[in-house]
């Protein structure tokens, strides 16, 4: 077969097939003017437009390869198996051109609980070309084969994109992640030079080309989609790195004026947290058993109880700030004089049971950042972290003949108490806080 083709090339003028394969005709919505839905979106649009001239060189610092032309791509295999046609194909030296001639039709940068980026990018005509090699059977009867240059024009493409936005209130910067792109187009025009040996039989191929074009397109898109997605995601994140969100969309004025404006609210929230702690039996509340190795021996701690958790309170000024669709709360909270008690069995040179361990934790302070979405009326805790862990005094009684292990035992008990208290505050304490933030009306 193949040698027959080469023979025919000599005599036949190269035969090109040029046929439209309508694939996803759609009525595209008009583009918006301006394309950005707010000032941040407008900045992103402007910055993306600004990099257009350098797309042919790529942006090596951001790991963005040259995008126009994009390629040559690695060899791309495709396979068609429909009733009219079975075909295996391979593309090589594939290059995508005119990608940089995009238009940003719309870009929505939506803050709030939805936190999403939506993109609508249009490309009037971009071209994929390279070298193809196919072999197949049409209508279970006619061999379809050939190799040569090919080109595939994609007309009126619309690339829709979606990504999640995460906003870090401390750094005041946003970034996007999980960007995905979907492409639709009006028309594909596939030219495969010299298919079937540059000779006749074009009617057969005419009938088949609209089976081939979308498969070739999908195979190529499968390769370029991740390249474009990561270029766009990296590019947009680089732009966002430079934008302090609240500089642009703060609704309230200077912070100084508002310092302390969250005090009343946090007092109510902490009251509610404290009463949740009491009503759910957490003051005093149980602490897990533990077995400690203190070098000279081991101690089994049981019957642990923590008291005082329900005295958590605001510590200093709390501030409320509005950014876009959110209300942010920044506060310090603290709890003092927590009491921990355990019974223990201590084993060293002998075994002593009925050992009494008690401890006092002077103070634990935490920093809280929470956020309330004005649209969905839901609260989220962005941060609830321990910023200060005060002195722990441990008292151990009943060691009897094991009195000599007091010091090493007290050391490991101190570590255990630190861990247990931190853990309880950051899990159980945080759960109660979440409930209280949901239940207390935000200012
Ligand atoms: C592309 O494929 C053709 C036909 O198989 C081959 O002659 C050519 O060397 C290939 N080019 C590359 C860069 O692999
Ligand atoms: C952007 O938001 C507007 C208004 O909510 C909406 O009509 C439009 O479809 C959105 N654009 C994209 C690309 O999702
Ligand atoms: C195929 O494409 C290559 C690269 O564009 C070009 O150099 C070559 O002349 C083309 N071959 C034919 C037969 O047109
Ligand atoms: C970042 O912002 C600074 C100051 O506004 C500006 O000078 C710089 O060019 C910006 N960089 C980028 C990559 O936009
Ligand atoms: C803790 O230890 C005590 C004494 O050994 C035992 O009775 C109790 O069941 C243990 N509790 C758990 C949750 O393992």
Give the pLDDT confidence of 232-241 residue by residue, as tens digits.
Answer: 999 999 998 9
> pLDDT tens digits for 241-252?
988 887 776 533
How far apart are the CA of 345 and the centre of ligand 5, in A? Answer: 12
pLDDT band for 286, please (50, 70, 90 cuts).
very high
pLDDT score of 443:
85
Whose Cα sits closest to atom 11 in ligand 5?
Answer: 289
Minimum-distance ligand 1 atom for the alpha carbon of 92? 1
Per-residue pLDDT, averaged over 279-303, amounts to 95
pLDDT score of 258:
61
Give the whole-number percent of the chain exceeding pLDDT 70.
Answer: 88
| Cis check: omega of the bond before 323, within 30 degrees of 0 | no
Whose Cα sits closest to atom 3 in ligand 2?
Answer: 108
Any long-range contacts for 380-388 (C-beta under 8 Å, 24+ apart)? 380/113, 381/430, 381/433, 381/434, 381/437, 382/169, 383/170, 384/426, 384/429, 384/430, 384/433, 385/426, 386/422, 386/425, 386/426, 387/332, 388/334, 388/363, 388/364
pLDDT band for 198, please (50, 70, 90 cuts).
low
pLDDT score of 375:
78
Cα distance between residue 301 and residue 355, in whole Å: 9
Minimum-distance ligand 2 atom for the alpha carbon of 160? 13
Minimum-distance ligand 2 atom for the alpha carbon of 161? 13
pLDDT score of 89:
96
Cα distance between residue 173 and residue 111, in whole Å: 12
Q: Which residue has the higher pLDDT, 256 or 118?
A: 118
> pLDDT tens digits for 315-333?
988 888 877 778 889 899 9
pLDDT band for 254, please (50, 70, 90 cuts).
very low
pLDDT band for 23, please (50, 70, 90 cuts).
very low
Per-residue pLDDT, averaged over 58-75, amounts to 92
pLDDT score of 249:
66
How far apart are the CA of 378 and the centre of ligand 3, in A? Answer: 61
Minimum-distance ligand 2 atom for the alpha carbon of 162? 14
How far apart are the CA of 284 and the centre of ligand 5, in A? Answer: 17
Residue 255 pLDDT exceeds 50: no
pLDDT score of 245:
80
pLDDT score of 376:
81
Residue 14 pLDDT exceeds 70: no
The finding on whether 353 has its CB within 6 A of some atom of ligand 5 is no
pLDDT band for 48, please (50, 70, 90 cuts).
confident
pLDDT score of 202:
63
Query: How high does pLDDT run on average in the chain?
Result: 86
Cα distance between residue 387 and residue 368, in whole Å: 10
pLDDT score of 19:
41
pLDDT band for 213, please (50, 70, 90 cuts).
very high
Q: Which residues are CB-neighbours of 394 under 8 A, at least 6 positions away?
A: 357, 358, 359, 410, 413, 414, 417
> pLDDT tens digits for 386-423?
999 999 999 999 999 999 999 999 999 999 999 999 99
How far apart are the CA of 301 and the centre of ligand 5, in A? Answer: 9
Residue 227 pLDDT exceeds 90: yes
- Residue position matching structure tokens 């490991």: 412
Whose Cα sits closest to atom 8 in ligand 1?
Answer: 92
pLDDT score of 18:
41
Any long-range contacts for 347-350 (C-beta under 8 Å, 24+ apart)? 347/297, 347/298, 347/299, 347/300, 348/296, 348/297, 348/298, 348/402, 348/405, 349/297, 349/401, 349/402, 350/401, 350/402
Residue 106 pLDDT exceeds 90: yes
> pLDDT tens digits for 125-177?
999 999 999 999 988 888 888 899 999 999 999 999 999 888 776 677 888 99
Structure tokens at 230: 């990561």
Residue 275 pLDDT exceeds 90: yes
pLDDT score of 179:
94
> pLDDT tens digits for 70-79?
989 999 999 9
Cα distance between residue 440 and residue 270, in whole Å: 10
pLDDT score of 327:
87
- Residue position matching structure tokens 């990561």: 230
Q: Give the pTM.
A: 0.58
Please list the residues that pair with 175 across neighbouring strands.
Answer: 166
Residue 207 pLDDT exceeds 80: no
Residue 253 pLDDT exceeds 70: no
pLDDT band for 65, please (50, 70, 90 cuts).
very high
Q: In three state form, how does the secondary structure of 414-442 look? A: HHHHHHHHHHHHHHHHHHHHHHHHHHCCC
Per-residue pLDDT, averaged over 354-380, amounts to 92
pLDDT score of 86:
95
The finding on whether 131 has its CB within 6 A of some atom of ligand 1 is yes
Residue 7 pLDDT exceeds 80: no
How far apart are the CA of 72 and the centre of ligand 1, in A? Answer: 12
Q: Which domains does the chain have, with CATH numbers?
A: 2-248 (3.15.10.30), 254-439 (3.15.10.50)
The finding on whether 354 has its CB within 6 A of some atom of ligand 5 is no
Cα–Cα distances in angstroms (integers) from residue 218 to residues 27, 154, 224, in the given order: 21, 12, 10
């Amino acid at each position: 077969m193949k040698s027959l083709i080469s023979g025919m090339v000599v005599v036949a003028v190269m035969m090109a097939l040029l046929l439209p394969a309508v694939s996803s005709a759609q009525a595209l919505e008009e583009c918006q003017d301006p394309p950005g839905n707010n000032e941040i979106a407008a900045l992103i649009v402007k910055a993306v437009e600004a990099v257009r001239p350098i797309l042919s060189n790529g942006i090596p610092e951001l790991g963005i390869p040259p995008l126009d032309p994009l390629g040559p791509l690695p060899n791309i295999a495709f396979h068609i198996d429909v009733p009219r046609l079975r075909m295996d194909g391979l593309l090589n030296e594939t290059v995508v051109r005119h990608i940089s001639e995009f238009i940003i039709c719309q870009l929505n940068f939506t803050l709030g609980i939805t936190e999403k980026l939506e993109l609508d990018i249009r490309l009037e005509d971009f071209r994929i070309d390279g070298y193809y090699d196919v072999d197949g059977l049409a209508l279970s009867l006619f061999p379809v084969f050939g190799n040569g240059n090919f080109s595939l024009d994609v007309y009126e493409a619309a690339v829709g994109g979606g990504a999640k936005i995460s906003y870090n209130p401390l750094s005041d910067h946003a970034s996007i992640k999980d960007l995905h792109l979907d492409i639709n187009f009006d028309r594909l025009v596939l030219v495969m030079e010299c298919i079937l040996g540059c000779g006749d039989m074009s009617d057969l191929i005419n009938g088949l080309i609209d089976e081939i074009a979308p498969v070739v397109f999908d195979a190529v898109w499968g390769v370029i989609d991740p390249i474009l997605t990561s270029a766009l995601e990296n590019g947009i994140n680089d732009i966002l790195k430079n934008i302090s969100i609240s500089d642009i969309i703060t609704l309230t004025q200077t912070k100084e004026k508002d310092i302390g404006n969250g005090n009343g609210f946090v007092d109510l929230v902490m009251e509610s947290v404290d009463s949740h702690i009491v009503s759910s039996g957490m003051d005093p509340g149980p602490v897990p058993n533990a077995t400690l190795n203190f070098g000279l021996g081991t101690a089994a701690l049981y019957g642990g109880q923590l008291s005082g958790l329900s005295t958590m309170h605001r510590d200093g000024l709390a501030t409320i700030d509005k950014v876009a669709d959110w209300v942010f709360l920044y506060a310090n909270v603290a709890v003092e004089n927590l009491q921990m008690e355990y019974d223990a069995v201590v084993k060293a040179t002998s075994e002593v049971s009925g050992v009494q361990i008690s401890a006092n934790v002077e103070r634990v302070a935490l920093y809280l950042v929470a956020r309330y979405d004005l649209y969905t009326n839901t609260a989220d805790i962005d941060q609830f972290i321990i910023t200060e862990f005060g002195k722990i005094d441990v008292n151990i009684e009943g060691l009897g003949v094991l009195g000599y292990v007091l010091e090493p035992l007290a050391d490991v008990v101190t570590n255990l108490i630190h861990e247990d208290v931190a853990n309880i505050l950051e899990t159980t304490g945080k759960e109660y806080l979440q409930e209280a933030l949901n239940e207390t009306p935000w200012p």
